[in-house]
Amino acid sequence: MTYKLKIMPNPLALLPLANSLVVAIAYDRLCTFEFGIATEIFALPRPEMGENWYRFAVAGVDAGEMRAAGGLRFAVDGGLELLAEAGTIVIPGWRGVDAPVPDALVTALKAAHARGARILSFCSGAFVLAAAGLLDGRRATTHWRYTEALTTRHPDIDVSPDVLYVDAGTVLTSAGTAAGLDLCLHLIRRDFGTEAANRVARRLVMPAHRDGGQAQFITQVVPRAHESGRLGPLLDHMRENLGADHTVAALARRAGMSGRTFLRRFESATGMTPARWLLAQRLGKARDLLEETSASVEEIAALSGFGTTGTLRHHFRLHLATTPAAYRDAFGKRAANNEASHQ
């Protein structure tokens, strides 16, 4: 008989968070999938992450028996008083974009936000944050089906319909359904560094970071079969040459298409124009280098295709609302410290 030895990765020596308690709200007609994301990420035992992983609890919004979508009955750990103890609060969708948000929930969220708790929303959960006034003057997102409604009802919110998530500091919003996973992985990366996020992503069998925005999932998820053979190698070429001047004419010639056809099929396949896709790749490369290397900002600007530090800083301010130095301080330092503690 042959035995296979299951080798577990060494636990990470994660630095402790100031408050590791994550509280997810639950409500009658609970969005089951979105709630499942919160429990999968924050409630699942993860011995490979060491002793300083998140703690998890569930706060009930409604009195009496509550049922999830599909009729499942569930129990909770307590009521909205749990939000006063949380370092992070998750709003896993809402029972309807037209459903009123209870005053007690609004009050509890405002109080939690005022004392510095982070609040995450998945999908339609953004409407709960909007009802509490926590998105006013901020950039936010929600499922593409609801972005127009969110914009119309709450004109003070800068709604971004074409992203998977928005990190506005202590208030974070994600797009439709599965984008909640992307947001959670981003938070893990922010809290514990790249290796922690990569380990969770591997266990989920998904990429640690998905390129592009939710527009790519509206009508067509992947390129048509007869186009993928041309666009796939082209995308690889662009990734390998981030600093090149990729004009539409040159890219179209390389793909063997007319300029108009190329633009139409590129946007259909990726959800973005070539220029926006290339910018996303450059930003991703720069973020990776800031997190994982000690290269100077000047070197990173060159390696990521921005060319100059001024251009790099401009795009970080515009798209990430931070600077390269501040980003490295927030993400790279924690990753480096976690790595040093693990050695």
For residues 25 and 203, what is the distance between their CA atoms, to the nearest angstrom? 25
Q: Which residues contact 39 (CB under 8 A, 6 or more apart)?
A: 24, 56
Which residues are bridge partners to 119 per DSSP? 89, 171
**Tokens 């992947």 correspond to what residue?**
222
Look up 123 and say whether it is catalytic. Answer: yes
Hey, which bits of 137-287 come out as E strands? Answer: 139-140, 158-159, 165-167, 171-174
Best CA proximity match to 190, nearest among 86, 92, 328, 322: 328
Is 335 within 8 Å of 14 (Cβ atoms)? no
For residues 189 and 332, what is the distance between their CA atoms, to the nearest angstrom? 10
For residues 275 and 280, what is the distance between their CA atoms, to the nearest angstrom? 9
Do strands 73-74 and 165-167 pair parallel, antiparallel, or not at all (unpaired)?
Answer: unpaired
Give CA 300 to chain center in angstroms: 23
CB atoms within 10 A of CB 248: 15
3-state secondary structure at position 290: helix
Question: Which residue out of 30, 101, 123, 335 is catalytically annotated?
Answer: 123
**Tokens 């090149």 correspond to what residue?**
244
Which two structure tokens, joined as six digits, stand for 253?
A: 């010639």
Which residues are bridge partners to 88 per DSSP? 22, 118
The residues carrying an active-site annotation are: 123
